[in-house]
Amino acid sequence: MRRALPWAVAVVGAALAVAGVAAFWWTNTRHPTVTHDGSYAPLLPVDSASGSTPTVTSGGSVLWEAGHLVGAGLLVAGALVLAAVGGWALGRRSARRGAA
């Protein structure tokens, strides 16, 4: 059982990281963007009947929305879990070499 637990935690960390990337990508593809040509003209008014708001991007930048924040949070959580499992495994491995 002791050998299976670190692998299970590593799989959970990898799944969190993959879910974070997927959530970030899904948010990018779901919302339409309005490009800004750099002029001082104001953006078109928001159509209040549809309830949609324009997302302004300039030069490949991304306006962060809730889905982006969730995706980034999941990715960071997965990376932290993977780093913790990796550090634990390296520490355990070096402790065995020092004891021999």
Residue 63 has which token pair?
Answer: 């306006």
- Statement: the pTM of the whole predicted model exceeds 0.75: no
Say which residue, 68 or 64, is predicted with more confidence: 68
Average pLDDT, the chain: 79
The pLDDT of residue 87 is 92
Per-residue pLDDT band at 30 (split at 50, 70, 90): confident
More confident residue, 5 or 95: 5
Cα–Cα distance, 92 to 86 (Å, whole number): 10
Q: What is the pLDDT of residue 51?
A: 55
Percent of the chain with pLDDT over 70: 61
Strand partners, 89: none
Question: How is the chain split into domains, by residue range?
Answer: 17-29+69-99
Tell which residue, 80, 96, 90, 74, has the closest CA to residue 16. 74
